[in-house]
């Protein structure tokens, strides 16, 4: 027998057992390496990823597709390569699944450069050590919860409070303001949400600079678990090779943890606290550590975070918070008052908001805005019971300032122009700070609150 036919023989294995998405396969030595992609089924449509070595002749894999039709003795082929996705500018404006296949009913992407989804994080010595702010052009975020360039921000909010609108606006501003790339990763998304987001981006005109990657809710846990790794591989190309800034939006990071929990249960591992996988911290860190900045480019991540039963002590929430540098909390109450973006200024926060990073002026203005809004919050019960006339002169002054600040922190978005009829505004940080400073100094006390609502810079209030 020739060496070539021997190697061909060692690439072929047979199924020993199938338990849900977990498949044990027997191979003649040498057995496939960890993370190798195995193919099975009539048209090799069943994809299995090796996750552990059981013994010298058996590997255990997690199926990334349905295992329907797979049985004991079924033939399996080792591809000698890990799961790979395409990279490059040709991905812009397209929608992908975990395998790098296009799912937007357009021409498939073939040939060109493909890379493994399993990559090492940037070594510490190659990372940028300076803390830089990433301006979004959205006043409420830039002033009160500044994002770190190459950092991770959490976006908290229920259904209908404006998460998708905020995400599409950030994508639009990233494209126009930073000439960067936006990449949306849907983990465990409903296909309705994915389809709506695609349409919204197409209508808003931001699709041509955006890549969408989805691991949908009906797919096996293995596929949902690997989707963020596939998206990160695509993002790393733009950071390291094209030397561009990338805005990576993930919805929802909790579903990634949930998919890992399902995989761990199927693998037969003993559960940890509250039934989570014992490898929760490691799995989340392997993903989050790849999101970083270098001297030439940065991946900045905004992650939607679901907090189970609003319990912030839940292991999933605790581990996620440890990686975040900013938290943006969306409030249903503010959304019902028409204060969009509905960011709650008192619950949101950022580690970047310190005098050493943002400068003394920005820090002082942000603290004054917070104190004024917090004072108004405390007085709301008294106003509801007795009326504003019963407040002292200084308290009344606080209320008037706070109401003007609340309205000034609203902003018309480019992505909602067709719904609101208001032209979108991109506000730079200096103009936003200047506006807040002038309101705090009562420069606009003679103006109506309405003149400050849904404007860009403060000077627009004079023309209203």
Kindly list the catalytic residues.
163, 189-190
Q: Which residues contact 256 (CB under 8 A, 6 or more apart)?
A: 187, 188, 224, 225, 227, 228, 250, 284, 287
In 3D, which of 89, 74, 66, 57 has the Cα closest to residue 14? 74
Q: Find, among 100, 165, 103, the residue nearest to 138 by Cα.
A: 165
Contacts 24+ apart (CB under 8 A), 427-433: 427/137, 427/138, 427/139, 427/142, 427/456, 427/457, 428/135, 428/137, 429/133, 429/135, 429/142, 429/143, 429/362, 431/456, 431/457, 431/458, 432/139, 432/142, 432/143, 432/457, 433/143, 433/361, 433/362, 433/365
Phi, psi of 357 (to 5 degrees): -100, -55
Specify whether the CB–CB gap between 12 and 50 falls below 8 A: no
Antiparallel, parallel or unpaired: β 12-19 and 75-82: antiparallel
Of the candidates 277, 252, 273, 251, the residue with the CA atom closest to the CA atom of residue 264: 277
Q: What tokens appear for 214 in the block?
A: 């989805």
Which three-class secondary structure state does DSSP give residue 102?
A: strand
Residues 228/259, Cβ–Cβ less than 8 Å: no
Q: How many Å apart are CA 415 and CA 169, to the nearest integer?
A: 6
| Euclidean distance between CA atoms 79 and 83, whole angstroms | 10
The residue whose two tokens read 């989707």 is: 227
Could you give the C-alpha distances from 284 to 126, 174, 186, 268, 310, in angstroms and in order? Answer: 22, 26, 16, 20, 20
Q: Which residue has the tokens 């403060």?
A: 458
Count of residues for the chain? 464
């Amino acid at each position: 027998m020739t060496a070539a036919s021997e190697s061909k023989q060692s690439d072929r294995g047979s199924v020993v057992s199938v338990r849900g998405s977990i498949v044990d396969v027997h191979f003649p030595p040498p057995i496939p390496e960890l993370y190798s992609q195995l193919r099975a089924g009539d048209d090799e449509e069943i994809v299995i990823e090796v996750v552990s070595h059981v013994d010298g002749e058996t590997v255990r894999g997690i199926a990334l597709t349905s295992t329907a039709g797979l049985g004991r003795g079924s033939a399996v082929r080792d591809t000698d390569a890990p799961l790979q996705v395409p990279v490059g500018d040709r991905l812009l404006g397209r929608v992908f699944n975990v395998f790098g296949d296009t799912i937007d009913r357009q021409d498939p992407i073939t040939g060109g450069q493909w890379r493994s989804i399993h990559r090492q994080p940037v070594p510490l010595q190659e990372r940028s050590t300076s803390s830089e702010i990433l301006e979004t052009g959205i006043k409420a975020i830039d002033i009160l919860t500044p994002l770190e360039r190459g950092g991770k921000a959490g976006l908290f909010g229920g259904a209908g409070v404006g998460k998708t609108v905020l995400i599409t606006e950030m994508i639009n501003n990233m494209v126009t303001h930073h000439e960067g790339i936006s990449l949306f990763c849907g983990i465990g998304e409903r296909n309705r949400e994915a389809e709506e987001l695609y349409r919204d981006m197409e209508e808003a005109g931001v699709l041509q600079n955006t890549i969408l990657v989805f691991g949908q809710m009906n797919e096996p846990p293995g596929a949902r678990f690997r989707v963020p790794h596939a998206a990160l591989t695509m993002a790393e190309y733009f950071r390291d090779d094209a030397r561009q800034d990338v805005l990576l939006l993930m919805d929802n990071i909790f579903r990634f943890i949930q998919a890992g929990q399902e995989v761990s249960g199927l693998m037969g591992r003993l559960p940890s606290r509250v039934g989570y996988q014992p490898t929760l911290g490691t799995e989340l860190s392997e993903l989050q550590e790849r999101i970083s900045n270098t001297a030439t480019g940065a991946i900045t991540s905004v992650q939607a975070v679901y907090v189970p039963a609003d319990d912030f002590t839940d292991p999933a929430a605790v581990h996620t918070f440890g990686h975040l540098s900013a938290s943006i909390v969306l409030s249903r109450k503010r959304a019902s008052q028409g204060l969009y973006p509905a960011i709650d200024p008192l619950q949101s926060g950022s580690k970047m908001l310190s005098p050493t990073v943002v400068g003394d002026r920005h820090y002082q203005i942000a603290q004054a805005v917070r104190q004024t809004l917090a004072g108004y919050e405390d007085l709301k019960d008294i106003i509801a019971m007795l009326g504003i006339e019963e407040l002292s002169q200084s308290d009344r002054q606080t209320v008037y300032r706070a109401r003007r600040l609340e309205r000034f922190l609203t902003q018309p978005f480019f992505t909602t122009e067709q719904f609101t009829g208001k032209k979108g505004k991109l506000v730079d940080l200096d103009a936003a700070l200047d506006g807040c400073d002038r309101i705090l100094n009562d420069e606009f006390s003679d103006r109506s609150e309405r003149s400050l609502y849904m404007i860009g810079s403060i000077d627009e209030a004079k023309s209203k």
